[in-house]
Each structure stands twice: as C-alpha cells, then as structure tokens.
C-alpha cells in the first residue's frame, strides 16, 4: 500500500508526516521485539489450562502468531499517532504559560505525563483540553505507575470505564470525568491497580 497525495496532504494539515509516523511505529516494533527477546514465557500448568477453559478463556493453548503480529501492527500505528500528536516541552510551556524548566519539573513531580523519546519529552494530547490541562489531572497522575506502557496509559485515560458510569448508565472515560470534577477519588483508586 502506498500513501496517496491526498493522504499525505491530510496528515500534513494536522502537522503529521508519513516519515515521522513510520519512524515512531518502527520504534515501537523494535521495543516489542527487544522485550520479547528478553522474556522467556512460562506456560500454564495443565490444571490452570483446565480451569481457564472452564470459565471460557481463549488462547489458553498458546498464542496465534498471526493474531499477535496483527495486534502489534495495530498497536504500532496507535503508538505512532499518539507520539506524533503529543506536544513538545516548548509547546506545553507556551500553552500553559510556564517555563520549560517548570514543565520538566512537573513531569518529574508526576503532575504532567510525558514520554521520553530520544532524550526529549513528549506530552500526550489526552491530558490537555482547550489549551490547558484537563481539570484535576494533576491530582491523579502522581498515583500512576510510570512503568506502564504509554499506550496502556493512553487507553486508560481515554476509554470509557464501567466504574465511571453515571446515573443514566453512560460510561465515561477518566479524562471526561476529571474535566467535570467527578469521580476523582474513584479514578485515583483505579489508577493504583493498573
């Protein structure tokens, strides 16, 4: 598949480039390969397999390599888009009216979430709303385990969560609930167990 001119123009309109997306996706895939090479998988015991099958678990007898490759490709694309849409330290400083050193300090203090890429910090866009931080995000970020993969963090904050359901039965994402000042303590609790 080749990128069409209109695709490239559309990406460019949003400040994205095919080259940077490809580079970020490749970086993700290299990291996956390196982590797989360092991890030796321990299989389930026969008793565990019987139990998991009895409760309807799938994949008990092993992982389908084609399915795993497809999942990694999809995650690489998601990662590339997340990284390329993330803001630089300069952009965050300008947007929030703070110095770059203060932005670095807030990242170290865990009141801003950043991803370190090639000695530079990138700040995923999900933590910002209308040129400011999502309300109350700085209260919950310190509880986040920094060992979590950036895609897991992204998905947690942006995906509707059954524990954040309102009286009408609507499920909200953590950033949506934080923005309106709801469920802050619940979100802190959930984060501790990610």
> Is the pLDDT score of 136 beyond 90?
yes
pLDDT digits (tens, 9 = 90+) for 49-62: 777 777 777 666 66
For helices 18-38 and 5-13, the axis angle rounded to 10 degrees is 90
- Return the pLDDT at 188: 96
- The residues that bridge with 26 in the sheet, in sequence order, are none
With cut-offs at 50, 70 and 90, classify the pLDDT of residue 30: confident
Mean pLDDT throughout 6-25? 73
For helices 65-85 and 150-158, the axis angle rounded to 10 degrees is 80
pLDDT digits (tens, 9 = 90+) for 89-132: 999 999 999 999 999 999 999 999 999 988 899 999 999 999 99
* Whether the Cβ atoms of residue 104 and residue 121 lie closer than 8 Å to each other: yes
pLDDT digits (tens, 9 = 90+) for 78-89: 888 899 899 999
* pTM listed for this prediction: 0.74
Dihedral sign for Cα atoms in the order 100, 111, 29, 31: positive
> Is the pLDDT score of 44 beyond 60?
yes
Highest mean pLDDT among 14-18, 41-45, 145-149, 172-176: 172-176
Q: Which residue has the higher pLDDT, 62 or 180?
A: 180
Mean pLDDT throughout 155-165? 94
Dihedral sign for Cα atoms in the order 93, 153, 125, 81: positive
- Return the pLDDT at 43: 62
> Is the pLDDT score of 13 beyond 60?
yes
Longest dimension (CA), the chain: 59
With cut-offs at 50, 70 and 90, classify the pLDDT of residue 2: low
> Is the pLDDT score of 142 beyond 80?
yes
Q: Mean pLDDT across the chain, nearest whole number? A: 85
Q: Which residue has the higher pLDDT, 57 or 41?
A: 57
């Amino acid at each position: 598949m080749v990128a069409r001119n209109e695709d490239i123009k559309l990406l460019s309109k949003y400040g994205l480039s095919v080259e940077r997306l490809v580079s970020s996706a490749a970086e993700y895939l290299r990291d996956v390969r390196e982590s797989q090479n360092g991890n030796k998988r321990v299989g389930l015991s026969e008793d565990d397999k019987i139990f998991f099958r009895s409760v309807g678990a799938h994949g008990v007898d092993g992982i389908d390599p084609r399915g795993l490759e497809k999942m990694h490709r999809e995650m690489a694309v998601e990662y590339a888009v997340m990284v390329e849409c993330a803001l630089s330290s300069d952009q965050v400083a300008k947007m929030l009216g703070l110095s770059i050193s203060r932005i670095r300090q807030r990242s170290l203090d865990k009141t801003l979430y950043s991803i370190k890429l090639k000695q530079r910090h990138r700040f995923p866009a999900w933590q910002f709303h209308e040129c400011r931080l999502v309300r109350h995000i700085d209260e919950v970020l310190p509880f986040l385990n920094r060992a979590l993969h950036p895609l897991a963090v992204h998905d947690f904050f942006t995906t509707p969560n059954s524990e954040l359901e309102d009286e009408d039965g609507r499920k909200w994402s953590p950033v949506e609930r934080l923005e309106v000042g709801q469920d802050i303590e619940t979100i802190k609790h959930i984060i501790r167990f990610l």
